[in-house]
């Protein structure tokens, strides 16, 4: 056993922070305060379920502990188990919304950092934005660029190749297998006032703005592959 072995329930006491009990091993767990903060957990042996019920239900758990537990060291030998280790808190999954917030407001010329590219790829995200006056850039699960304005076909595997550029039978077979479920992303040039690049798609997405000289140069998008068709 260790300090985390027995679930603890906070109690109202100036000296005891929390108590718990393991009926199978008849072990009482008591966590004391140390300088006003939760401190070490002590395990007391041979403590029955009935004794714990009386302890937990006492009008004052602190007084009950002093009167009925602390004096009986031979009946309830104890061991200092140390301070419980806090359970690790999992970092939130990088979502399309979180990534869009992180990218929003950056200046042109723009690209993801190597770390952002790796994080986006690991999270299954596709970032689309414009460059120059003739390029659609893709990052995350895909690291590529195609000519724009125009339409890109994407699925959970990434960008579909241009049909006219395929001269390999295996690649062509793969294209025809993916095309029916692929989704369209259309790059639009100057479709909105004072914004060079915007994108039109029916795929759920989050947006972010890339700035140039105080105006929006590109309204990029972030897509989660979970929202795309085709096998990953």
Would you state the pLDDT for residue 232? 52
Residue 161 sits in the same domain as residue 61: no
Ranges of H-type helices in 57-188: 61-68, 96-103, 114-122, 169-178
Q: How many helices (H) and strands (E) does the chain have?
A: 5, 15
Looking at 40, 57, 82, the residue that finishes a domain is 82
Question: Quick check: is 119 in a domain?
Answer: yes
Structural domain containing residue 157? 96-227
Q: Is 105 domain-assigned?
A: yes
Based on the domain organization, do 60 and 136 belong to the same domain? Answer: no
Would you say residue 91 lies in a domain? no
For residue range 108-123, what is the model confidence (pLDDT) as tens digits?
A: 999 999 999 999 999 9
Q: Which residues pair with 178 in a beta bridge?
A: none
Is residue 104 packed enough to be buried (19+ CB in 10 Å), middle (13-18) or exposed (0-12)?
A: middle
Minimal CA–CA distance to 45: which of 10, 1, 83?
1
Arithmetic mean of pLDDT, 195-214:
97
Residue 203 reports pLDDT greater than 80: yes
Q: How far is the CA of 232 from the CAs of 16, 87, 211, in angstroms?
A: 53, 33, 33
Total domain count, the chain: 2
Tokens (6 digits) for 141:
């699960």
At residue 119, the 3 state secondary structure works out as helix
**60 and 102 fall within a common domain:** no
Instruction: Give 140-153 pLDDT, tens digit per residue.
Output: 999 999 999 999 99
Residue 109 maps to a domain = yes
- 107 plus 54 within the same structural domain: no
* Alpha carbon distance 25, 184 (integer Å): 62
């Amino acid at each position: 056993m260790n300090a985390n072995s027995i679930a603890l329930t906070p109690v109202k006491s100036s000296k005891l922070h929390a108590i718990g009990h393991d009926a199978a091993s008849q072990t009482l767990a008591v966590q004391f305060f140390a300088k006003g903060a939760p401190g070490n957990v002590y395990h007391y042996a041979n403590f029955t379920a009935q004794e714990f019920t009386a302890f937990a239900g006492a009008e004052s758990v602190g007084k009950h502990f002093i009167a009925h537990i602390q004096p009986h060291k031979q009946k309830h030998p104890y061991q200092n188990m140390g301070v419980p280790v806090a359970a690790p808190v999992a970092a939130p999954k990088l979502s399309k919304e979180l990534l869009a917030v992180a990218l929003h407001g950056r200046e042109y010329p723009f690209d993801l950092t190597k770390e952002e590219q790796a994080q986006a790829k690991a999270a299954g995200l596709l970032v689309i934005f414009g460059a120059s006056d003739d390029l659609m850039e893709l990052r995350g699960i895909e690291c590529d660029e195609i000519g724009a304005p125009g339409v890109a076909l994407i699925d959970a595997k990434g960008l579909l190749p241009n049909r006219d550029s395929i001269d390999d039978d295996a690649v062509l077979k793969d294209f025809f297998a993916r095309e029916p479920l692929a989704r369209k992303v259309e790059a639009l040039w100057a479709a909105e006032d004072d914004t060079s690049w915007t994108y039109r798609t029916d795929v759920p997405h989050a947006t972010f703005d890339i700035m140039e000289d105080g105006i929006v140069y590109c309204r990029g998008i972030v897509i989660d592959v979970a929202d795309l068709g085709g096998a990953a």
